[in-house]
Structure formats: C-alpha cells, structure tokens
Structure 1
C-alpha cells in the first residue's frame, strides 16, 4: 500500500498532465509511471466498455423478448442506434474534458456543482446496486455447477465471494484490473460466439414464430420489448468515467466507447437471431436458459447448461470487475471537488480504494438483506431503479454537450463537425429520455426519491465546502 498523502499527490499530478515521481521502492517505466498505476490503452478500454455492457443479461434476453415475436429485433436496432449515438457523444465530451469522472465532469463543467453532484450521486447508486444484482445472477449459475441445495448461508457466501473477488483485483492496482478485464472479456466471447455464429449454420426459419406475437400494435410491441432490453445497454459511458486511467484519453476514450458499444450490440443481435432460429418459439417463450437450449438444439445432449453456466459466471465476474472500478471513479472525481466526502479521494496503485471498499460493502449489505429477509420484490424494484438512475447522468451529459455547442464553446469542435455533433447530441438526449420512459412509472418514482435523498447530502457537502473556503453563508 502507498501512503495516502503520496497517492493523492500522484493522482493530482496525473490529472494535471504532469509525470509524477513514484514512491521509493516502486518500479517505474520509461514514462515515469508506477508499475501498479500503469494506464491502460485502447484494447483494455474497449474491453472495459464491452465487459460492462455485456453482463448476465445476454443469457436471458432472447427468452425475455420472445413473447413479442421477431419484431423485437427491430427494438434491438433502435436501441443500438441510440446507444452508438450516446457513445459518440461521450467520445466527443471525453476529447473536450479527458478527466476521470465522465458524466459528472461534463455536467459540472456545463451547469455547476449541483448538476455535477446529481450526475455523480445517481451514477454511484446505479453502480453499487447493479453490482448486487449481478452477484445474485451469478449465484444462480453457480448453483448449476455446485448445487447449494437451497442453503441461505452458502448462497450468501457465494454471492459475497462474487462481489469481493473482483474488488480484490481492483485493489491490486490498474495493472491487475486490466489483466482480469481483458481475460474475462476474451473468455466470455468464446461460448457466446459459438451460439452467435454456430447458430447460423443450424438456423431454421420455422422456429421463428410470428412476427407479432403479443397482439399489440407494432409500435407498442417495439416499445415494450425495448423496455426489457434497456438495462442491457447501460455501460456505454465506462471508458469516459475512467478517462484518467486511460492512456491518451482524448484519442482512446472515444474509440473504445464506440468500438466496445458496436461490438457488444452486434453480439447481442447475433445471439438473439441464432437462438430465435434454433429454438422453437413455443419452447423459447418458456425457457429459463435460452442459450443452453440453443446449444442443445445445435449439438444434441444436455451439456449446454453446464457450458452456458460457466460462460455466464465468467461474463458476470468480468462485468463486476469493471463496475467495481466505475463505482469508485465518479465519487472520487466529485470528492476532489468537495462534493463527496474527502475519504473517496484515497487512492492506492492507481485505484480509488476507499470508493471500491464502500461500494462493495453497500452492495454486500443489500445482498445479505435480500437473501436474509427474502425481499425479492424490494430487490427487483431497486434493480429497476438503476435503469432510471443511470439515465440521469446520460441526460445531463448530453445536455452539457448541447450547451457547449450552442453557447459558442466550440474551441475544440471544427466547423465541419458542428452540425454532426449537434445532431448526435440531440439524438442521444432523445434516446436517454426514451430510457427514462422505458424504466416505468414505479422505477421513476423510486428513483426520484433516491435523487432527493442525495439533495440532503449535497446541502451538507456544499456548506462544508463554503466554510472551508472562508465564504460566509448568506443571511436568512
């Protein structure tokens, strides 16, 4: 462990673009960086985006949208276009402000501390609640490999292990984080590509079922199936949130964001088409393991369940590894500006260690509460809330880009790109609004309550920041 004060000095120099001298006893490379704080390049940044977008949802999505018929594939197309537009906007924003924090940095730069805090607060909630959900999903697949026989104790132990093992890889430093992220992304793609590409050779159009199976209008069916798919695209902002740890962020963040989002969307679409064409529609609607059914249909036997369970665990662990880092990066950036408690600025080996520990601890408490008290309904509601809380930073970030373009702050936007950037920004804003609508009334209601709870935190932190600056509070 580095001394906290030294870590903060190193972090500050990195953010200012300086080349810090590493603490004594720490090996440094030719660029003067610690071997633990080595910044990752385009491949790992892309893996971070893909790993966070592709979690456990891909293993259930085909069955989830099957009741709407093959028209649900149109929802994939619409969502993909919107996600790529959002990814392009994040790439442009990262080029303008290549700092750790992503949407928080952009919202604060455009609209001030309060907007920045709302972006950081809502994104932080999204990250650690999603981690709890991913861990619970991983336990379901672990049960296939190592039956837990309904034991609450062992189920909790397994869920906590799924959360803390990725946390340990984060605490080991950016070097180890990058290795785990890259390896898990590669390993998860082997079985997914088997289904996505192999399924095309066993494709049977008779398995597709009706184009519209739900009886809804075409627009209603697309919107309803899109609402199910919305959560699966959260994560497009991953590289921009970690821009401070990306090598040459003005160039690599945008590329990694677009490349990772495009590849993840392509894999989603190919897997869904392959499953639709290999599993009979009537069976797919009631399937709990659609990719397992697809593998069994392609090659026979019952080994597909085990293979897919292993793939799901690898996929989820990779997503947890990435989301654990993101759960610490945004509060770290906000804490440096005095909008989160100062403890969140503590870094070691290039990682905001305090933020990692707090996020994993909160996710662990939520997991234990879920299993101990059997509050499945409450937990599912919280997971739906993350669909809403994730869109708050998206809306603020895209609005910030629109503000930068309309206010004349075009210092880094070439005239030839202005119209294109404006169209992309408005498309991404509209896409984000659609995400809010897809979250549902209950999720939006609960999410607003979460945001209002954060207002109290902001009031306390803003008052403390003003006192520290020596500025007297206004009289009543």
Structure 2
C-alpha cells in the first residue's frame, strides 16, 4: 500500500512496534520454560539474569544498526552490507529456519495448556490443536499487516496483564523450600548455567522483531531502537518475576514434570482449578498472538533476500503488505515438522525444537554483531565521538560473545541438527547464484563494498544519507 504521493505507507508506530517485540518475545516459551529448566536447579534463575543483560545488549545493537540501514530484513541486511551476498544469505536462511522451527515449538507448547482447558485428549487431537494454532495466525497474516498489528496489540495486552499479576502476587506465596538445589546432577554450576541459558534463550528470541520489520515502522531510525529496548525490558520484568514466582510456589519435584507450570502455580496460590484454567486460557492467547507475529517474521527475511536475488523471486511478492508466499511456505514447513514429531512419538519434542531454534537464532545474531563491529572499525572515525564509539564497540563485542556462548550451550545434538539445516541452504545459494546473469553478482558486491566503505558513524546526519547507496541497484518496490 502507498500514500497518494507514491511513498510507502509504514503501518507500525512506536506502540505497535514495541508490542511486536514484546509479543514475539513473550510467546508460549515462558509458559513452559520454568519446567524445562527446573532440572538444572535454581542456577537457571541466574542464567535468566545473564540472558537479560545479553538480550538488552542485542536490542541496543539492533537499534544502532537500524539507524544505518532502516530496511525490512534486519540481521540479513546488516550481514549483507558488511560481508557480502553469501553472509547475507546465511543470515536470512538461518533466521528463516529458526522462525518456522520456532513456530512448531510454540504450537507444541500450546497443546499442553490446551489440555488444562479441555482435560486432555488423544495424540491425533493434540495434532489437530497444534495445526490450528499454526494456521489461524497464518490466515490473519494473509489478511494484511493491519490485521497483524491489531492482533498483536490485543494479544500482548491480554497476556501481559495476567502474567504480571502472577509474577507479583506469586511473590507473596514464595516458599524457599520449593526451590530445590542450586545445581543438579554432578553439581557443576557453570555447565548448568550454560545449558539452561541455551534453553532460556528461546524466551528472548524476538528481540530483533522491530529491526526485521523496519520497512513497516514509522521513523525507523529512532523507533526501531526504542521499540527493541522497551519491548525487551518489559518482557524481562515479566520473565524474571514470573519464573521466580513459579519456582517459589510449586514444589521442585512437581515442577520438573509439569506441562503447565504457571497454571500449577496459580492453583497452589488460590486453591482449586479456576486460577489454573484462567492462566491456561491466557497462555493459549499468548501463544496464538506470538505465532501471529512470528508468522510475519518468517516471511520478512526471505522477502528482503529475494529483493536482492538471494532467495527465489516468489518470496518477494507482497499482498496487503505481507509476503504471502513466505507466510505459506513457513507455515507448511512448521506443519510438516509438527506432524513428524507427533507421529514419530519423539520424547521431549519441545526441548529439541527449542535448542534447534537457539542455534539457528545465534547465526544471524553473531553476524549482526560482527557487522556492527565492522561498520565501527571501517567508518569515518573523524565523525565518531570517542565515547559513542567505545560504547557501541563494547555493546557489539558483548552481543557477539553472548551469542557465541549460547552456541556452545546449545549442545552437540542441537548444533548438529542446526548445522544440517544451515548447510542445506548452501545448495539453494549455489542454484540461485548460477541462475543470476553474469556480472550481476560482482556488480552487486562492488556496490555493496563501496557503500560500506563510506558508511559514516551512527547518530550523524550523514548516516541516514549513506543508507541510500546501500540499497540494491534495482529499486525496492514495497
């Protein structure tokens, strides 16, 4: 959609962009993660604190990068501008993989809370519920970005208020005797910290949501960074207090086997089943709302890459502001993965999918942090105030180290499966590169190199002007 003067209509203001970030971060993961990390002991609470610091650093880095390149695509755009087509493709492919695997994980998490409402069901019924959770948000996306924004605002409010209520009220029912030991198993707290952090990262995936949809955000140079930080901090408050309340109200031996820990916590606080049923309803709404936002995210990275010839061209087609083919493809892949997991009877489906998501998310995070360091080191140093350069470099180094640490914590199985997904994309890249006209790839790379070489410091007036040469040679039609 365009305004009467032919310019692109940006549909997301700061409140909607913040809701997109917070809604994507506070998805279904928080409702199941306390039980997933309980076996590691209360060291997982420390992991949550460390993750919060890392997530805020990432949010600040994405905000600074968006000032230079306020385009749809986020991490993909930054990696390509800094390191060329192949790095951009790997970022887009990995992020795309992460989104539809994450959607499958969200659907699995939603089934557990749906059981609280319905009293359980057969495996075939569980599969139908999971598929409904995938396809209803997809239909909302196909209706257009106005619907995506509206659904995101409503679902974010409906899940934030009850979660915050449980997080605060639960502190009055806190019993230290329910916490269990600080570490579990062999007592290695550093191993438990890293392993639980790898699972908990899933709860912070989404910090890049505003940057990924920068093309739909009004005044993205300012609002992407603000929305990223505000959404991350808001989610962190709910996460830390909520997890602490669940750990302190539900006995540890019950928590490690729980499929709906927040519902169990409310039942302990108020007795009976009504409180748990209410929280379960909020969890289902939260998961559907998160799937609404993540379905849009699943189409944005391949859309941006397709505009540059690095994804099949069909991914670049939009209808009502939404890349429809990307939405449909990601939903179909998440459906196939969900069906596979339910029909094969794999144990610990949620944890497996979460760890694959963790690894896939860290690839674009690492490349984005590295791109920020590259821009800082190769920019016009005379335009960079020393204090700002130092601050931005420290944040970029911290974000890179944080993401690298999470790769190590994901575990061999998750890294192995994640690498398989990542390397499969190389075949796609080779096929696309071979089909591009001779000289086009070299011309694009040269243009990108020239643009990077003249990138000024973030925060200057020249930064916005320098973003224009970094666009592809062919005008982007939104």
Asked if the contact 1:69–1:214 (Cα under 8 Å) also holds between the matched residues in 2, the reply is no
Change (3 A) 1:292 1:471: closer
1:251-266 alignment runs, 5 A limit = 251-266=222-237
The equivalent residue for 1:45 is: 17
Q: Which moved more, 1:434-443 or 1:278-287?
A: 278-287
For 1:60, what is the secondary structure of its paired residue? helix
Asked if the contact 1:39–1:245 (Cα under 8 Å) also holds between the matched residues in 2, the reply is yes
Q: What TM-score comes out, normalization by structure 1 length? A: 0.87
The equivalent residue for 2:337 is: 366
Q: Following the alignment from structure 1 to structure 2, what is the Cα–Cα distance between the partners of residues 433 and 470?
A: 30
Change (3 A) 1:44 1:115: same
> Does 2:46 match 1:74?
yes
Q: How many Å apart are 1:333 and its aligned residue?
A: 0.3
1:123 pairs, out of 69, 83, 95, with 95
Asked if the contact 1:89–1:424 (Cα under 8 Å) also holds between the matched residues in 2, the reply is yes
Asked if the contact 1:173–1:348 (Cα under 8 Å) also holds between the matched residues in 2, the reply is yes
Q: Which moved more, 1:188-197 or 1:365-374?
A: 365-374
Q: What TM-score comes out, normalization by structure 2 length? A: 0.87
Change (3 A) 1:293 1:380: closer
The equivalent residue for 2:373 is: 402
1:292-331 alignment runs, 5 A limit = 292-331=263-302
RMSD: 2.4
The equivalent residue for 1:187 is: 158
* Unmatched tracts of structure 2, length 5 or more: 444-478
Q: Following the alignment from structure 2 to structure 1, what is the Cα–Cα distance between the partners of residues 383 and 221?
A: 11
> Does 2:207 match 1:236?
yes
1:205 pairs, out of 176, 179, 188, with 176
Q: Following the alignment from structure 1 to structure 2, what is the Cα–Cα distance between the partners of residues 21 and 239?
A: 25
1:452 pairs, out of 411, 419, 423, with 423
Q: Following the alignment from structure 1 to structure 2, what is the Cα–Cα distance between the partners of residues 126 and 425?
A: 22
> Does 2:107 match 1:135?
yes
Asked if the contact 2:10–2:215 (Cα under 8 Å) also holds between the matched residues in 1, the reply is no
Q: Following the alignment from structure 1 to structure 2, what is the Cα–Cα distance between the partners of residues 332 and 388?
A: 22
Q: Following the alignment from structure 1 to structure 2, what is the Cα–Cα distance between the partners of residues 250 and 268?
A: 28
> Does 2:100 match 1:159?
no
For 2:437, what is the secondary structure of its paired residue? helix
Q: Following the alignment from structure 2 to structure 1, what is the Cα–Cα distance between the partners of residues 268 and 352?
A: 35
Q: How many Å apart are 1:305 and its aligned residue?
A: 2.9
Change (3 A) 1:220 1:156: closer
Q: How many Å apart are 1:263 and its aligned residue?
A: 1.3
Q: How many Å apart are 1:379 and its aligned residue?
A: 8.1
Q: How many Å apart are 1:69 and its aligned residue?
A: 3.4
For 2:436, what is the secondary structure of its paired residue? helix
1:342-357 alignment runs, 5 A limit = 342-357=313-328
Q: How many Å apart are 1:295 and its aligned residue?
A: 0.9
- Paired residue total: 443
The equivalent residue for 1:13 is: none
Q: Which moved more, 1:187-196 or 1:84-93?
A: 187-196
Q: Which moved more, 1:183-192 or 1:410-419?
A: 410-419
1:406-421 alignment runs, 5 A limit = 406-409=377-380, 413-421=384-392
Q: How many Å apart are 1:464 and its aligned residue?
A: 1.7
Change (3 A) 1:136 1:280: closer
Q: Following the alignment from structure 1 to structure 2, what is the Cα–Cα distance between the partners of residues 221 and 187?
A: 33
Q: How many Å apart are 1:160 and its aligned residue?
A: 1.9
Q: Report Cα offsets for 1:71-111 as digits up to 9, x if no partner.
A: 32211111111111111101100111000000100000000
Asked if the contact 2:195–2:410 (Cα under 8 Å) also holds between the matched residues in 1, the reply is no
Q: How many Å apart are 1:286 and its aligned residue?
A: 3.8
Q: How many Å apart are 1:296 and its aligned residue?
A: 1.6
Q: Following the alignment from structure 2 to structure 1, what is the Cα–Cα distance between the partners of residues 247 and 346?
A: 33
